[in-house]
Amino acid sequence: DEFNRISVEVLSVVAVQVKTIQDAVRAKKKRFNFLGEEISLDPTVGIFITMNPGYAGRTELPENIKALFRPCAMVVPDYGQICEIMLVSEGFLNAKLLARKFITLYTLNRDLLSKQDHYDWGLRAIKSVLVVAGSLKRADPDRNEDEVLMRALRDFNIPKIVTEDLPVFMGLIFDLFPGLNVPRKRDMEFEKTVRQAVLELKLQAEDSFVLKVVQLQELLDVRHSVFVLGAAGGGKSCILKSLNKTYALQKRKPVWSDLNPKAVTTNELYGYSNVTTREWVDGLFSSIMRDISKLSNDSPKWMVLDGDIDTLWVESLNTVMDDNKVLTLASNERITLKPSMRLLFEIANLTYASPATVS
């Protein structure tokens, strides 16, 4: 998976290994010489690789590797059908029409809104909103389905939409769901605790600030990794601290661990094998994640990465951020992200993040 994230010099070694195996299969051997070692061969062996074409942090495949594999191009799936099936499985009866509205909104968003690095109107974005819509539907089964879906689309996209795009987005929502104006689903008790937390941090509990804290909580309910984006002095750290303080006031015993990933090299972040002694040297992030994942209680546990994103370190977190939720280290150790753990990035922009990371 993600094959072309391996550096070129390693790929050429892989090419030699793959060729040895393929030659042995062709010769129908039972045992064969693999890099100076005699090993047995299972004739049904197959090697499959997935990769994204060239962009930052990826390498082009060398010719000797290309010659060993047969390429297979993938097409974009029919979002409409996927959306409809997921709506049905979440319990919506009028799924066909709602799916069409959903996909229309996302297509128009892609075309009409400004091009921001953090906008993603692809399949993963669609999927997470559908999960939200399902939970809203089950929480309020008697409400009209149009209203449920509109509320999910509106309340989960507004936090990431920049100010100048907001009127366009709201216009699209009202065009697709004419005459509907559903109030936000609010948890007054939670908002009261947030206000108390903000005041205890000696800040002003303004409505817009409290709303951002609540939006962050809503996102953390459905996504296990969240980017908090904004210029310096925009209040990113304060929002995180306020939500953390809110947890503390709710007696939920939050755990918070932050680090600057750019302060150390990628090896020091994830760990590496010492070349001379062959010993495993543990990394900063991997040891933090392992320690947190050993805590057995249900309290919210945050790993906050506060520092600029660059493809070199963030691509290794792709498996943690997607549905696998596993950090795979070079030592073959796998650390899983527990349900109570969250990955937060506090950054100014996503200029150097690849499309795979954003989605």
- Taking the C-alpha atoms of residue 66 and residue 64, their distance in angstroms, rounded to an integer, is 6
Please report the pLDDT score of residue 57 as a whole number: 65
List pLDDT tens digits, range 20-52: 999 999 999 999 999 889 999 999 999 999 888
56 pLDDT more than 70? no
Confidence of residue 311 (pLDDT cuts 50, 70, 90): confident
- Taking the C-alpha atoms of residue 112 and residue 235, their distance in angstroms, rounded to an integer, is 28
pTM: 0.85
**Of the given ranges (10-14, 103-107, 268-272, 340-344), which has the lowest mean pLDDT?**
10-14
- Taking the C-alpha atoms of residue 208 and residue 96, their distance in angstroms, rounded to an integer, is 36
Phi first, then psi, for residue 34 (nearest 5°) are -115, 105
- Taking the C-alpha atoms of residue 287 and residue 270, their distance in angstroms, rounded to an integer, is 8
Average pLDDT, the chain: 93
Q: Give the per-residue SS3 of the chain.
A: CCHHHCCHHHHHHHHHHHHHHHHHHHCCCCEEEECCEEEECCCCCCCCCCCCCCCCCCCCCCHHHHCCCCCCCCCCCCHHHHHHHHHHHCCCCCHHHHHHHHHHHHHHHHHHCCCCCCCCCCHHHHHHHHHHHHHHHHHCCCCCHHHHHHHHHHHHHHHHCCHHHHHHHHHHHHHHCCCCCCCCCCCHHHHHHHHHHHHHCCCCCCHHHHHHHHHHHHHHHHCCEEEEECCCCCCHHHHHHHHHHHHHHCCCCCEEEEECHHHCCHHHHHCEECCCCCCEECCHHHHHHHHHHHCCCCCCEEEEEECCCCHHHHHHHHHHHCCCCEEECCCCCEEECCCCEEEEEEECCCCCCCHHHHC
Please report the pLDDT score of residue 315 as a whole number: 87
Structure tokens at 56: 């930052």
Please report the pLDDT score of residue 262 as a whole number: 94
Give the residue-averaged pLDDT of 222-234.
Answer: 92
